[in-house]
Amino acid sequence: MKRRNFLKALPAAALTLAGCGQHKTAPANTASLVFDHSYPLDYATQFSADCYEGGYVMIDIPDAGRFLVVPEGAAEVDDLPGDVVLLRQPLDHIYLVSTSVMDLFVHLDALDSIALSGTKADGWYVEEARQAMQEGRIAYAGKYSAPDYERILAAGCTLAIENTMVLHDPEVKEQLEKFGVPVLVERSSYESGPLARMEWLKLYGILLNKTEMAEEVFRQKVEQVAPILEQENTGKTAAFFSITTNNLITVRRTSDYVAQMVGMAGGVYIFDDLEGETSAQSTIKLPLETFYARARDADVLIYNSTIEGVVETRDQLIEKCPMLADFKAVQSGDCWCTAQSLFQQSMELADLISDMNLVFTEGSPDPASLRFLQRIV
């Protein structure tokens, strides 16, 4: 069975969109928005964008707000609805809290747009971000729940990019907005598929006036996985999991994007009936006995190192959970561990799909050919 359903048809050439590409606009006093077209998206559903004459773009993120991106030097807009947040370009003093977004800025060659980080230098697996902080080009301004307002204001912050964690501390968002700092709560984590998540690169292309670059980078990522999706499924079953300190097993729910990547790579996700209480829930905790019953005979085990650290040997894995010694994949040696950098390098999901595909199709791929998986020996 071909797995074409994961990949939508792409246009023959990258689109250059009037009003959404690189633009130069003559300044004026005021302007009215004149609709041109909706920005086409192939996979993402958690944001949309409408392009207007003169380079104005209205971004709509459901449950997170509407944002009007105004080109540098462009006129103010007449009769703008009160719920719309103005983002005037250039957006070059950004406070970036959402760690998954940093890799998108790296791919857009836009690190110089970020002035402040919500993560300290030693918390970054994105090497470019760590280096920028060590060199003082990006300063630490406090985590999402305790921002350094004084530093943020002193830096002339033009935008704060948060993840949905800030919604647990609504007073933080309110205080930033009170100080005149627009807050964009990004929701790429609510996308159900890896290609949809990566397509958020286009939103940041709009914000940074780099839409053509964003479209080209995304096109390359899609083309990277296209040949894999044309292959026959191997039928090999796989479990993607981690072990908590209180002896529970954390797995991905059936419709989660990681579970989808297993299928895209040519495997079969072993947990085909696990759905959380809400669509926002990406993981589910299972008792050891349930995991044993469901995953003991899985062909492949992939251990998620991002929570409890890397596991390098089967002895280390069994020490964490002795019952794993009975598992088929442990006995056959078909156990793998992810790199800890995986979930910060959000534009590299195509590489993880490629890695999984090599594991499913070759069994013992050359370690040098893998970027995010290493064999547990």
Lowest mean pLDDT among 125-134, 272-281, 321-330: 272-281
Regarding whether 264 and 115 lie in a shared domain, the answer is no
- What pLDDT score does 341 carry? 86
Greater confidence (132 vs 8) lies with 132
What average pLDDT does this structure show over 165-173?
92
Regarding whether 194 and 246 lie in a shared domain, the answer is no
What average pLDDT does this structure show over 243-254?
89
- What pLDDT score does 20 carry? 52
Q: Mean of the per-residue pLDDT values for the chain?
A: 90
CA dihedral in degrees (149, 153, 158, 163; nearest 10)?
-10
- What pLDDT score does 336 carry? 97
The answer on pLDDT for 4 being more than 90 is no
- Give me the domain span that covers residue 338: 231-375
Regarding whether 200 and 58 lie in a shared domain, the answer is yes
What average pLDDT does this structure show over 190-207?
96
- What pLDDT score does 12 carry? 32
Give pLDDT tens digits for 43-86: 999 999 999 999 999 999 998 999 999 999 999 998 889 999 99
DSSP calls for 76-120: EETT--TTEEEEESP--SEEE--HHHHHHHHHTT-GGGEEEESS-
Other Cβ atoms less than 10 A from the Cβ of 31: the count is 17
pTM, entire model:
0.88
Can you tell me the distance from the alpha carbon of 360 to that of 327, in angstroms, rounded to the nearest whole number?
Answer: 17
Give pLDDT tens digits for 106-120: 999 999 999 999 999
CATH no. for residue 72? 3.40.50.1980
Are 303 and 375 in contact by the 8 Å Cβ rule? The answer is: no
The answer on pLDDT for 14 being more than 60 is no
**pLDDT band at residue 277, thresholds of 50, 70 and 90?**
low
Are 333 and 341 in contact by the 8 Å Cβ rule? The answer is: no
Q: Whose CA is closest to 253, among 278, 236, 290?
A: 278
Regarding whether 329 and 252 lie in a shared domain, the answer is yes
Q: Where are the beta strands (DSSP E) in 97-243?
A: 114-117, 139-140, 159-162, 183-185, 236-243
Q: Which two tokens stand for residue 353?
A: 């799909």
Q: Is the dihedral of CA 348, 351, 356, 359 positive or negative?
A: negative
Q: How many domains does the chain have?
A: 2
The answer on pLDDT for 261 being more than 60 is yes
* End position of a domain, from candidates 219, 247, 277: 219
Regarding whether 78 and 134 lie in a shared domain, the answer is yes
